[in-house]
Amino acid sequence: MNRKKLTGSTALRKVVGCVALYGIIQILLSTRILSDYYFATLVTIGINVILAVSLNLITGFTGQFSLGHAGFMSIGAYFCALITLRVDGIPGFLLGILAGGAAAALAGLLVGLPTLRLKGDYLAIATLGMAEIIRIIFQNIKITNGAAGLSNLPQYVNWTWLFVFVAGVTALTVNFLHSSQGRACIAIREDEIAAESMGINTTRSKVTAFIIGAFFAGVAGALYATYFPRIKPDTFGFMKSVDILVIVVFGGLGSITGSILGAIVLGLISMFLSSYTELRMVLYALLLVIIMIFRPQGLMGSKEFSIAMFKRAGDRISGLFRKKEKEEKV
C-alpha cells in the first residue's frame, strides 16, 4: 500500500513538473521574452530529444548498435511533407505525423528482420547502408523533387504541439521499458544467450524495439518537416545519425533522462556557437573525448534523474560536514 502511494506521489510530482515547465515556456513565448530564434532552438532540442530517446531504446536498452536513425527520420519527414502539401490544416498535420511514423516503422520492420541477426559493427554497417540507400532514393525520385528537396512547407508546430509529442514519446518509451517486453530487451542487452535460454524470443524483442524506435524517429522527422519550411536529402545524411548517437552517448546509454539532458546541453552549445560551425564540431569531438576518458558511461550513466538523487547528495554533504565537526572537536 505504501509503495503504491509512493509511486502515485512520484507520478503526480512528475506531472506537476511537466505542467509547470509547459506554463513557464508558454508565458515566455507569449510575452516575447523568448524570440523566434530561441524558439527554433527549442524546437531543435525537442526533436533531438525524441531522436535520442528512440535511439537509446534501440542502442542503450536493447544493445543493438544502429547508425541508420537519420534514415527513419527522413522517411517521416518526407511522408509528412507530401501529405501536408496536399491536405490543409490540423487534420493534414496529424495525418502527416501518423503516416510519417507508420512509414518509418514499416521501414524499421523491413530492415530489422534481416539485419538484427547481425551484431556489433556488422549491424552498424548494415543500418548505415540502409540509411544511405534511403537518402539516395529520396535524392533521385521525382515526387521528392530530387536533391533540391521540398520547400515552402506549411508550418504547424508550436510550443503546445512540440511539448505534447516530446512528453508523449518519452512517457510511452518509459512505459514500454517497464513492461515485460521492455524488460526482455534489457535482458538481451545484458546477455542475449542467457535471455534466450530463459525463453525470451530475442528476435521478436529486438525487432519490436527497432520498430518502436523507428516509429518515434519518423515522428521526429515529421515534426521537423512541419516546422522548418524546407527539407532536402542531405539534411538526413550520415552526420545526422552521428549527431543523434553523440547525444545518446553524451547523456548515457540506458538512461532516458540522460538523453534529454544530452539533447539540451548540446543544443544550447550549438546555439551559442552557431556562428562558428567548425568550432562547434571541434567542441563536440572534445566533449566526447573528455566523456570517454573521465566518464565513459556518460553524464547520467544508466541512472535516471530523480529527487532522491538530490536527497542522497545532500545526505553525503551533510555527512561530510558532521565528520569534519567531529574531527575538529577531537
Q: Residue 177, Cα to own-chain centre: how many angstroms?
A: 15
302 versus 75: which is more confidently predicted? 75
pLDDT at 329 over 90: no
| E strand intervals along the chain | none
CA 180/CA 48 separation, integer angstroms = 27
Once rounded to an integer, what is the mean pLDDT over residues 127-132? Answer: 90
**Across residues 196-201, what is the average pLDDT?**
88
The residue with greater pLDDT, 300 or 249, is 249
- pLDDT band (50, 70, 90) for residue 40: very high
Q: Which of these, 116, 302, 77, 138, lies nearest to 211 by C-alpha position?
A: 116
pLDDT score for 69: 92
328 has pLDDT over 70? no
Query: Is the pLDDT reported for residue 86 higher than 80?
Result: yes
**Distance, first Cα to last Cα, the chain:** 46
Q: 327 falls in which pLDDT band (50, 70, 90)?
A: low
The answer, yes or no, to whether residue 315 has pLDDT greater than 60, is: no
What are the distances in angstroms from CA 180 to CA 184, 186, 187, 200?
A: 6, 10, 10, 10
- Top pLDDT among 152 and 296 is at 152
Question: Mean pLDDT: which of 11-20, 31-40, 213-222, 275-284 is highest?
Answer: 213-222
Mean pLDDT across the chain: 86
Contact partners, residue 105, CB within 8 Å, separation at least 6 = 211, 212, 214, 215, 218
Q: What's the whole-model pTM score? A: 0.88
- Alpha-carbon distance of 314 to 323, in angstroms, equals 14
Name the pLDDT band for 310 (thresholds 50, 70, 90): very low
Nearest Cα to 154, choosing from 241, 90, 245, 60?
Answer: 90
| pLDDT digits 0-9 by tens, 255-307 | 899 999 999 988 888 888 777 767 777 876 787 787 778 877 777 776 776 65
| pLDDT winner (highest mean) among 1-10, 219-228, 272-281 | 219-228
The more confident residue out of 313 and 61 is 61
Q: What's the distance, CA 106 to chain centroid?
A: 19
